[in-house]
Amino acid sequence: MKEGILLIDKPQGITSHDVVNSVRRKLGIRRVGHAGTLDPIATGLLIVLVGKVTKSFNKFVNFDKEYFATLTLGESTDTGDALGKMVKNEPFAHITKEKIEEASKRFVGDIEQIPPMVSALKYKGKRLYSLAKKGISVPRESRKIKIYSLEIKRFCPPEVDFQVICSKGTYIRKLGEDIGEALGCCGHISKIRRIAIGHFRIEEAIKLEDVNESLLRSWPA
């Protein structure tokens, strides 16, 4: 019986569903899912559930997450990341690392976040990203999330590297946009890498091309 979990280092440029389809082909089993979407621009830890473990989906998505991301100041896009179309640009020469660190403090703790239109959430039965592709924007209610820590790792204008530990339901692209707005200039996420889900770390992950049945990990461990 093929069942268990796979910790996969998702490459850039493919969807989380593409990873699932690849695992299905490699393992010859249909019952495969993932626990927490990564956007095509994102890389890093994706937990893939195989067989009966797919029933444990909710346990995995409730874990806290850790990301390393790059915010590019001065340009905003219609998707909030580098794959989107630029919709606005603003000067950022006045921004200093001290200003960034001060602004980032506002986002630590329990905060409200409005989900982006380019997300997998549903509105009247339709995914928001499918509506966004048609140029449709709908009202979204803010949701409570928690940012446990947000640390600025590098400032090399216009790029700001930061590391964040956050609760489930946190959208890093929206966090980046909100930080840019708090700084008085716009911004978008140009790189994002998930490095942890709960106690699972990216160092434990395997490449997608290396997937095989012998690498399935039992769950619960």
Where do the domains of the chain lie, and which CATH numbers do they carry?
A: 4-62+198-215 (3.30.2350.10), 65-197 (3.30.2350.10)
Place of tokens 């993932």: 34
Q: On the CB side of 97, how many CA atoms lie within 13 Å of its CA?
A: 9
* pLDDT value for 221: 61
At 89-129, the pLDDT tens digits run 999 999 999 999 999 999 999 999 998 877 777 777 777 66
pLDDT at 129 (0 to 100)? 67
Among 9, 39, 81, 178, the active-site one is 39
What's the pLDDT tens digit per position in 170-188?
Answer: 999 999 999 999 999 999 9
Q: What is the pTM of this model?
A: 0.92
Report pLDDT for 115: 84
Task: Output the DSSP codes for 29-89.
Answer: -S-EEESS---TT-EEEEEEEEGGGGGGHHHHHTS-EEEEEEEEETEEESSSBTTS-EEEE
Catalytic site residue 39?
Answer: yes
Task: List the chain pLDDT tens, one digit each, 221 residues.
Answer: 789 999 999 999 999 999 999 999 999 999 999 998 898 999 999 999 999 999 999 889 899 999 999 999 999 998 899 998 999 999 999 999 999 999 999 999 999 999 887 777 777 777 766 766 777 777 888 999 999 999 999 999 999 999 999 999 999 999 999 999 999 999 999 999 999 999 999 999 999 999 999 999 998 86
